[in-house]
Structures are given as structure tokens and as C-alpha cells.
Chains A and B, each alone.
Chain A
Amino acid sequence: MAKREAEKTSKTVTGSMTVKRGLAEMLKGGVIMDVVNPEQAKIAEDAGACAVMALERVPADIRRDGGVARMSDPEMIEGIQAVCSIPVMAKARIGHFVEAQVLESLGVDFIDESEVLTPADEAHHIDKLMFTSPFVCGATNLGEALRRISEGAALIRSKGEAGTGNIVEAVRHLRSIIGDIRKITQADSAELFEWAKRLQAPLPLVQEVAETGWLPVPLFCAGGIATPSDAALAMQLGAQAVFVGSGIFKSDDPAPRAKAIVEATTHFRDADIIAKVSRNLGLPMTGIGMDKIEQRYAERGW
């Protein structure tokens, strides 16, 4: 570490918004896979994952077990960092800035302030501008996305409904976020004030969306992706990369499914390739309907 620091001049800047959003840019077009141990991390990297999310239980198991879900054991995260050459992400509870501090001290590449874990604060999210590590946050609509960005999130993902193997909620969130972006680009300058009020989002960010036609940070899809077609659906709807949680390691045969989802994400507009990679993958995770769910994780966060 000392040697590395010595090589940089005094004019280098770390932890800037450019550097944080820069890593999010590098993940585009890729698949970020949930893994619970180094063996799964190797399978994910072998299959072509662009990053892994290190956690103790995948969302499907958190849902089954109930109780309080917290940040993973640092020992377990370091075990995964040791076998991976790709970026390693990990989750902190909403509002639990000390868990985030611990993850930063471990050198985690991206911190997910995640509704999949039990929230630690019922009113406040983490002040993400205080950190050198970049953060990804979930959103169900454009207002929520812009509030997270104003707090310093470098990447937004749909919340979907994690651990269900059901893509319907992620589709709802992507359509809501991207649909409202499209409407805002058509609004005149006076209407943008009303949009900011309605979205409960900072006016300058609403104006930026109106001008650029996109969020100031990348938008990925998460929650319920179980098949190559699910991944391609998210991409065609406008997501720029996908997170796959329980969908890989809760399926019959994780390695080929992981590889197929990677290829479908790259070739998301090519139905012939999606058809080819979708063959003989074994059973996907069983999945659950939204009417069978007791706790909607997407409702966590404010």
C-alpha cells in the first residue's frame, strides 16, 4: 500500500464521483452474480460474470429463514475477494453506515445499500457522499432513484422482488423509471418544478434528466431474473446490466445457466442466440407468485 501511494503524485484524486460512476460504466452489459462462498464465486467468474455480490444467504433463503438479515461476515467476504479477480460487491443494511464503513475498510469494490437486508433506519439512508467506495441503491420509481443519487449513489438498480424468481416487479420498476424519464424529456421548464415536487426529488437532478434524457448514473436491473430471456427482457426494456441473485445458484445446474445468462445479456436483441443458449439448462429456480409473499422487500427504503 505504501509503495502504491508513493507512486502517485499529490495531484491524484480518489473517491470522486467520476471515479465512482466510472466503475459503474465498466459493469455495463454484464451480469453481477450473488455468491455465498468462494466455490460459487469461481463458478461465477468462470461463467463470465463482470462482478460478484458476496453475501451469506441468497435472497430466496433470507425470505425462507426470516429473522434479521445483516451484513455478511468479513471473513466470508475476504474469502471471496481472495479467489476473484473481478470486482466484489457486498451489502449493507439501509441506513447502517457502520456496516458500510466496515465494507469500505475491507476494500469492497461496490457497496449495495440493500432492501434485501433488514433496514437499520426507518427514515434515513446512508450519506453515501462521505465514502470513498461507490454505492449502488435500489429504486422502484424515478423519484426514489433521484433521491438515492442526491445522497451519492453511483449506480441505481431496480428493486424487483428479490428471491422470488419472478421478473414482474423488476419490469414494473424499470417501466416506471424509464417511462417517467421519457415524459420528463417532453416537459417544458415550468413543468419541471411540478415534476420535482411530484417525484420528491431535487430540482437540479430533474432538470439534468430532462436535458440528457437519462439518469446521471447507470441503471441496472435486479430482482427476479431466473432465465436468459429474463435478462434480455430487462436489457431490451432499457436496463444497462443485470444482477442475478437467487436465480443462478437456486437452479438445478448453476454453471451452464450462469454462462447462458451472460451470453443473453450481451446479445439481448438477438433472439436466435437467446434461443440457442436457453436449451437444456435444467430447471430454473421454482419461484413464487406475488400473492404468496408475506414481506415485500421493495417497500423498504424511503
Chain B
Amino acid sequence: MVRVSQGSSKKVVGVLALQGAFESHKKVLNELDVVSLEVRTPQDLPQVDALIMPGGESTTMSQLLESSDLYEPIKKLIHEGMPVFGTCAGMILLAKKIIDGRDDQISFGAIEIEVQRNAYGRQVDSFEADVEVEGLVPAFHAVFIRAPKILQAGKDVEVLASFGSDVVLARQKNVLVASFHPELSQDGRIHELFVKEI
């Protein structure tokens, strides 16, 4: 499961930089003293030990994953156990089933969840709120932007946080997903949860 990056003993976290909030993720990782790398082409992948898929537009990223020849190699790495963390659009890309997506939208099917895009509404409905996360005190102040909703989660999916009746942070083996944006919260604790597993 552990892959050693070349030329350094320090683990490198890749951030998928096709479109979206990749800079915010890099900023959080930097504050945690974790080395990060923007991933745009297959040549970037051998240098990373884990991968974050940021928020943004999942339809845009889906098309760029194909045109940049990244879909198959990333799918293989996830299957081999590379830790991945998807936030918002990144969660959609990792989900088994997408509701209200485009017909040609691809996903990695890496976690047994069914997600609905933009289920919390348009931007005027975007919100911030405190979310109780398993093992984190105090609560995490989460930012939801045109957020997707997890409608169903399979039995092997571990629920780490819920908001109201909705699961908002979940894990299945090497795959961690959040429907909100921990990269926008000036709080590195959820990234720490992820980095710890690498």
C-alpha cells in the first residue's frame, strides 16, 4: 500500500489541479508541513503517495480527466490502495453512483455512496455550519458550496460526520470523502486525518 516517492523520504500528497480549489488544499497541506504537488498529467503521478481531488466543477474535471489521460492510471492507483480524499466535486468523482450528473460524466466508483449533485441548492443556499466529527473536539466549522448530498451509503462505508440526517464525511478503506470544503476553513484537522493514513 505504501509507495515510496523518488528522491525523498517525505511523503508527497498530490492535488488534482485540472480545475477547482486545488490552491486552497495546497495551502492547508503547507501549513501542516506536508509536501504537495499539483497533478495535471500522468507523468506527475509516480511522484505522489496520495491524492486529493478538490472542489470545483465535477463535469469539467470529468472531461479533463479523460482528455489528460489521467482517468485510467488514477483508477488503477486507487484500486492498488493509494489514499485518496475527495471534497465536494472530488467526492462526486469518487462516488459509485451520481444523481443529476451528466450522462457522459465519469467517476471512479471507489466508494459505495450515491451522491446527488447540487442537492443543497444554488449558491444563495450555500452555507457554513458547525459539524460534529468523530474524534474531533471542538466541532469542525464546515463550508458547504453548492454542495452534493450523500443519499445512500453502503454497509462498508464508515460514517465520520453527519449534518442533520445527512452523512457529510465518510471513509471506505483508502477513500475519504467530504461533501463540504475543509480546505476553506482555516482548520487543518480533517486534512490531518487524511495525511495520517498515508
Contact = CB atoms under 8 A, between A and B. Distances in A.
Interface of A: 4, 7-9, 11-16, 18-19, 22-23, 25-30, 45, 47-51, 85-87, 104, 107, 109-110, 132-134, 240, 259, 262-263, 266-267, 270
A167 B101 CA distance: 35
Given A25-B24, A51-B57, A109 B125 contact: no
A26 B56 CA distance: 4
Interface residues of B, number: 45
Interface of B: 17-24, 40-41, 55-57, 59-60, 63-64, 67-68, 88-89, 100-102, 117-118, 120-130, 143, 145-146, 164-166, 181, 184
Nearest to A132: B124
A13 B129 contact: yes
Given A109-B146, A262-B64, A26 B128 contact: no
B135 to A, nearest CB: 21
B57 A266 contact: no
Given A8-B127, A18-B184, A45-B59, A28 B164 contact: no
Contacts of A12: 127-129
Given A8-B127, A262-B60, A107 B145 contact: no
A49 B165 contact: no
B164 A22 contact: no
11 contacts: A7-B164, A25-B24, A25-B184, A28-B19, A29-B18, A29-B19, A30-B56, A50-B56, A262-B63, A263-B64, A266-B40
Contact of A267 (B23, B68, B89, B129): B68
Candidate in A19, A30, A133, A259 with the most chain B CB atoms within 10 angstroms = A19
Contact of A11 (B40, B117, B124, B130): B130
A22 B145 CA distance: 7
A266 B68 contact: yes
Nearest to B100: A85
List 5 A-B pairs, minimum CB-CB distance, nearest first. A109-B123, A29-B19, A12-B129, A48-B63, A25-B21
A26 B129 contact: no
Nearest to A1: B121
B19 A85 contact: no
A210 to B, nearest CB: 18
A18 B146 contact: no
Contacts of B101: 85
A156 to B, nearest CB: 16
Candidate in B121, B124, B164 with the most chain A CB atoms within 10 angstroms = B124
B124 A266 contact: no
Contacts of B57: 26-27, 30, 50-51, 86-87
A4 B18 contact: no
Contact of A22 (B22, B122, B126, B129): B126
A100 B125 CA distance: 17
Contact of A29 (B56, B127, B146): B56
Contacts of B24: 25
Contacts of A16: 128
B146 to A, nearest CB: 7
Given A7-B165, A132-B124, A85 B117 contact: yes
